[in-house]
A = this chain, B = another copy of it.
Amino acid sequence: MAKKNVKVLPAARQILDMNAFDAGAHTGALNPLLERRIANVGASAVLFYREPIEVVSASGSWMTAADGKRYLDFYNNVPSVGHTHPRVVAAVTDQIGRLNINTRYLNSVVDLYLDALKARFPASLSNVVLSCSGSEANDLALRIAAATSGGTGIIVSENAYHGNTSIISDISPSALKRRGLPDHVVTVAAPSNAGQSDSIENAFAADIKRAIAELGRRGHKLSAFICDSIFSSDGVYADPPGFLRKAIETVHKAGGLYIADEVQPGFARTGDAFWGFARHDVMPDVVTMGKPMGNGFPMAGLVTRPELLERFCEDTGYFSTFGGNPVAAAAGMAVLNVIDEEQLQENALRQGNHIKERLRDVAAKDDRIAEVRGAGLFLGIELCRSGKRDQPDAEVASSVINGLKDRGVLIGAAGKFGNTLKVRPPLSLSEEEADIFVDRLADTLSALPAA
């Protein structure tokens, strides 16, 4: 190992989490693997925890560390049907030993998957473009919107994260550090009833209207409003279903597109629908997907109306070397089948409700829990100073995250203030595992000094 390259970073590098490892704040010797990682990836290191965990294996809802300790994974929304699910492993293993090519050739495994994926969407969204990452899908979606709308203005929520390419970082407030949002991007607050007298639906539509006007003042016609319908990185806002309706009407009236970023809420996680947008009874122009699509096999994509894709492709050629390869298709097909056969959408709803119910009991006894919200197995637990719901407490969130880690549960935080725990276990979670989480959370909270 090139020891001379080890560099202690000047500050924590973090995206979407208040819980990053901070080499600058670290005291004492780094463990050898951590030192090696920092030497290898430099400033791009984004590690979790004061002492990052070395993981060696995982199965279902559990990960095993190098020291033998087992962790219940309530953080990672990628292995959504469970870590190393045997059906997905078998599908990848079988296909990668048979054929792995690009989409310049025909292969029925790919179209079997494309058919199955399309069957989950409204019939009008009949064209699929597969790619490698949610970032790539959103990058393409934004360009489809520009080609369709003729506009340049983008509306996002104030703590949104949509990915890592250049144009997508530009619309991801939570990924920006020293620099601000560019001129063509205007934010709206996540839809919540905090301080609103009007309904969330009306208030959010009014915000969108103001954002469109602001873009207009800056000389930008609206191109698109893009949101993750569960507002994950804003702190998880799910209710009441339908609150997006008037906002989307407003976007469409202004000639903009509605891009539903389903990279986080999609594939049955919210329990009461397969897609987050479906909970709101709205019709997207483009839907993007990623993370859980292949349960960890790198794959992503979008669906849209054929005429939108055609308009874009008239100007610019688009080809993804890895996107839509048959191994990805096999992984994706296994994921869809497992969700159906193991009734994971129903399970997400059931376990999510169970957790919410039990958490409300915990909250009744601990006034640092300001709110428990969310849908299915995508919940947010907002933490505040004791009894002061309007005073977000990121420190207690950080203490809870590290306390849960000590107790063998992995979880992250989100929101503008980093004070909302994100609950995102595999959809295959058992009630026993759900109870372990709630019990250990209650235990962690009671062990913390009152704030």
Chain A residues at the B interface, C-beta cutoff of 8 Å:
1-2, 5, 7, 9, 13-17, 33-34, 36-37, 39-48, 52-58, 63, 66, 76, 78-79, 83-84, 89, 92-93, 96-108, 110-111, 114-115, 118, 123, 126-129, 131-136, 139-140, 142-143, 164-167, 169, 174-179, 290-291, 296-299, 306, 309-310, 312-325, 327-328
Could you say which residues of chain B place their CB within 8 Å of the CB of A118? Answer: 2, 40
**Chain B residue nearest to A52 in the complex (CB):** B106
Contacts of A175 in B (CB 8 A): 316-318
User: Quick one: given A133-B133, A310-B42, are A111 and B169 in contact (CB under 8 Å)?
Assistant: no
Q: Which residues of B contact A17 (CB under 8 A)?
A: 104
A76 / chain B contacts, CB cutoff of 8 Å: 101-102
B contact residues around A13 at 8 Å (CB): 313, 317
A69 to chain B minimum Cβ distance, whole angstroms, is 13
A118, A318, A321, most chain B CB atoms within 10 A: A321
Instruction: Tell whether, in the assembled complex, residue B165 and residue A139 are in contact, meaning their CB atoms are under 8 Å apart.
Output: yes
Contacts of A53 in B (CB 8 A): 105-106
Roughly how many angstroms separate A318 CA and B161 CA in the complex, as a whole number?
11
> Would A99 and B136 count as touching, CB distance under 8 A?
no
- Expressed in whole angstroms, the Cα–Cα distance for A66 and B128 within the complex equals 24
**Which of A39, A114, A129, A322 has the largest count of B CB atoms less than 10 A from its CB?**
A322
Given contacts A56-B99, A176-B317, contact A136 B164 (CB under 8 A): yes
Tell whether A111 pairs with B166 under 8 Å between CB atoms, given A133-B321, A136-B133.
Answer: no
- A sample of 5 cross-chain residue pairs with beta-carbon separation below 8 angstroms, ordered by A number, consists of A33-B108, A92-B96, A136-B165, A296-B327, A298-B325
Residues in B with CB closer than 8 Å to A105 are 47-48, 52-55, 63
Distance in Å: Cβ of A261 to nearest Cβ of chain B: 13
- Which B residues are in CB contact (< 8 Å) with A16? 319
A133 and chain B: residue at smallest CB distance: B132
CB contacts (< 8 Å) of A9 on chain B: these are: 310
Instruction: Evaluate contact between A178 and B321: CB separation under 8 angstroms.
Output: no
Give A46 to B318 CA distance when docked, in angstroms.
8
> A1: which B residues are within 8 A, CB to CB?
115
Contacts of A178 in B (CB 8 A): 314-315
Tell me whether A315 and B15 are in contact in the complex, defined as CB-CB below 8 angstroms, given that A101-B63, A132-B298, A165-B136 are known contacts: no
| Apart from A55-B101, A78-B321: 12 A-B pairs, beta carbons within 8 A | A5-B306, A40-B111, A41-B127, A41-B324, A48-B104, A48-B105, A55-B99, A55-B106, A57-B99, A136-B136, A143-B166, A167-B167
Asked if A78 and B102 sit within 8 Å, CB to CB, the answer is yes
Is the CB–CB distance between A96 and B89 below 8 Å? yes
Q: Which of these, B139, B165, B328, contacts A298 with CB under 8 Å?
A: B328
Give every chain B residue within 8 A of A317 (Cβ-Cβ): 13-15, 46, 169, 174-177
A54 touches B316 (CB 8 A): no
- From known contacts A128-B41, A139-B165, A315-B176, infer whether A55 and B328 are also in contact, taking CB-CB under 8 Å: no
Would A115 and B40 be within 8 Å (CB), given that A83-B100, A106-B47, A315-B176 are in contact? Answer: yes
